[in-house]
């Protein structure tokens, strides 16, 4: 297993092409860039905590393939206990970073691909699962960070991939030969991509035979020829070149450092191809990935919300109104909402079942309920936190003003709360709450792992409404 520092060092030798604000960044010093550094630090925490005796049981597992001790972010779930431990792990890492640490997307991808390729091989006599297992052994041995790449730009949402004016709006196979395949297109909103070693490309939806060229799943190095990453902007990201206080969470950043990943005739050897045209299983792969990923949100957002609650409560302490009854009520309600999110992740894990491959899969209905709750309850948690935090969240002067020889004394004087609390400490807490409850953090809660409508679609598929109607008729004495 890699340490956090070894992970960072392993990112320096890549030939990765990353553009930001129109400029090509130096791949060797990419991790030192102020706009990217925090995301690297948060991902490094998933490595560092594996060596901490306090968290070792959560962050490590025994590989069912090799019997070796591995980082849990490279593990295939072998039991309900594994599913539950994953959720506990995610909350623990969030409590140590206060933000997204990116690595769960690849974990969810490999678990979805693992179970799907096994069943696909049973149906078609292919050897995709064997290829994946060989790749996974390398993944575990090298403790790679692998980005999960599912979301396509999609273009005109009313049209199928093969109907688009531009075929590259969905990733697709452009040609094949005896050595491998070539893929073109793009993947959007890619969390942690620029600080990963590999990516797993997956179809973005279930498709029919007319779209079989878009049914491709494969593993590709993030610095493979033909790949360009365009790093996205974030709310107030210009502060990353300013003072530490104004960044709010200067060490670990905000959310996951997403990017647009462009693929132009990228070659993939056959041993790294895990689906190529098997449209009958594209829907299964997408749904399993989505459900594994939606399982996460009560864990990771539970941990992030713990920090939000702590920040709001601390601001109340620093401002002298923490004993007010309405503040206590609001904090208790935030705690209630947070534990509700966590309970859904625990529930879908506890109700997990064994797949044909032997790996375990979450309860899909409960996983979707949990993620759907996140799209609503996080907004309530953050709204209440902003209520407690007060208007300072929107109007606080900068760290440069605090340090100014001319006006610093006024900032120090007039933004002090409780006399025993340094003004700088109060400013730090206000900035932390600001960045955690606004902008990109909220958008990610809404659309990460699928927008609310994606969960509603799954309800209609999974809730067995006809059985509910039949039960009601039986109770009421109504004949079928």
Contacts of 290 (CB under 8 A, 6+ apart): 449, 450, 454, 458
Of 39, 129, 293, 372, catalytic: 293
The pairing of strands 180-187 and 172-176 is antiparallel
Q: Which of 300, 338, 375, 437 is catalytic?
A: 300
Strand partners, 361: 353
User: What is the C-alpha to C-alpha distance for residues 390 and 419, in angstroms, rounded to an integer?
Assistant: 18
129 counts as catalytic: no
Residue among 190, 338, 311, 188 at smallest CA distance from 255:
190
Please, what is the Cα angle at 315 between 420 and 338, to 5 degrees? 145
Q: Please identify which of the residues 117, 191, 204, 375 carries the catalytic annotation.
A: 191
Clarify whether 100 is annotated catalytic: yes
- Which one of the listed residues 35, 75, 85, 104 is annotated catalytic? 104
Name the helix (H) or strand (E) containing 264: strand 259-269
Give the integer Cα–Cα distance in Å for 16 and 18. 6
416 burial level (CB within 10 Å; 0-12, 13-18, 19+): middle
Report which of 323, 326, 344, 324 is spatially closest to residue 334, judged by C-alpha positions.
326
Alpha-carbon distance of 302 to 337, in angstroms, equals 9
d(CA 286, CA 159): 19
Annotated binding residue 66: no
Catalytic entry in 77, 100, 375, 434: 100
Is residue 104 among the annotated active site residues? yes
Confirm if 197 and 221 have CB atoms less than 8 A apart.
yes
Residues with Cβ within 8 Å of 151's Cβ and at least 6 positions away in sequence, in order, are 187, 188, 189, 190, 204
All residues at 6 or more sequence positions from 53 whose CB lies less than 8 Å from its CB, including other chains: none
- Structure token digits, residue 182: 């070539």
Of 7, 229, 258, 434, which is the active-site residue? 258
State how far the Cα of 189 lies from the Cα of 169, in Å rounded to an integer: 14
| 258 belongs to the catalytic site | yes
214, 297, 342, 360: the catalytic one is: 297
Please give the annotated binding residues, written as ranges.
Answer: 191
Q: Supply the residues annotated as catalytic.
A: 100, 104, 191, 258, 293, 297, 300, 444
Please give the annotated binding residues for FAD, written as ranges.
Answer: 191
């Amino acid at each position: 297993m890699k340490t956090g520092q070894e992970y960072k060092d392993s990112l320096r030798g890549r030939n990765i092409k990353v553009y930001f604000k129109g400029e090509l960044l130096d791949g060797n010093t990419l991790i030192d860039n102020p706009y990217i550094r925090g995301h690297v630090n948060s991902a490094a925490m998933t490595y560092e905590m594996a060596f901490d005796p306090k968290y070792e049981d959560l962050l490590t597992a025994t590989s069912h393939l090799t019997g070796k001790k591995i980082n849990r972010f490279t593990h295939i779930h072998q039991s309900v206990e594994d599913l539950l431990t994953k959720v506990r792990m995610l909350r623990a890492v969030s409590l140590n970073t206060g933000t997204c640490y990116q690595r769960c997307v690849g974990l969810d991808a490999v678990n979805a691909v693992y179970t799907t390729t096994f069943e696909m091989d049973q149906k078609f006599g292919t050897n995709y699962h064997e290829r994946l297992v060989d790749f996974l052994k390398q993944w575990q041995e090298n403790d790679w960070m692998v980005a999960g790449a599912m979301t396509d730009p999609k273009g005109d949402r009313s049209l199928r991939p093969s109907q688009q004016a531009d075929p590259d709006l969905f990733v697709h196979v452009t040609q094949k030969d005896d050595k491998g395949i070539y893929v073109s297109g793009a993947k959007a909103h890619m969390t942690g991509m620029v600080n990963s070693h590999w990516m797993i490309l997956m179809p973005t939806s279930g498709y029919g035979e007319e779209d079989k060229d878009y049914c491709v799943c494969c593993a590709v190095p993030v610095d493979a020829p033909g790949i360009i990453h365009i790093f996205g902007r974030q709310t107030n990201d210009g502060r990353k070149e300013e003072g530490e206080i104004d960044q709010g969470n200067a060490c670990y950043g905000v959310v996951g450092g997403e990017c647009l990943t462009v693929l132009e005739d990228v070659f993939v050897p056959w041993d790294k191809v895990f689906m190529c045209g098997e449209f009958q299983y594209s829907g299964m792969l997408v749904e399993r990935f989505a459900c594994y990923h939606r399982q996460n949100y009560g864990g990771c957002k539970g941990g992030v919300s713990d920090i939000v609650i702590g920040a709001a409560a601390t601001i109340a302490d620093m401002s002298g109104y923490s004993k007010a009854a309405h503040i206590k009520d609001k904090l208790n309600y935030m705690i209630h909402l947070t534990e509700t999110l966590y309970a859904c992740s625990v529930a879908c894990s506890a109700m997990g079942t064994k797949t044909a491959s032997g790996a375990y899969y979450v309860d899909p209905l409960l996983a979707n309920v949990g993620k759907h709750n996140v799209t609503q309850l996080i907004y309530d948690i953050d709204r209440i936190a902003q209520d407690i935090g007060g208007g300072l969240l929107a109007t606080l002067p900068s760290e440069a003003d605090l340090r100014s020889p001319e006006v610093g004394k006024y900032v120090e004087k007039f933004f002090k709360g409780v006399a025993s609390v340094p003004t700088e400490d109060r400013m730090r807490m206000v900035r932390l709450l600001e960045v955690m409850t606004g902008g990109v953090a909220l958008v990610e809660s809404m659309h990460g792992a699928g927008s609310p409508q994606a969960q509603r679609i799954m309800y209609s598929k999974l809730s067995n409404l006809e059985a509910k109607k039949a039960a009601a008729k039986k109770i009421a004495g109504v004949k079928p």
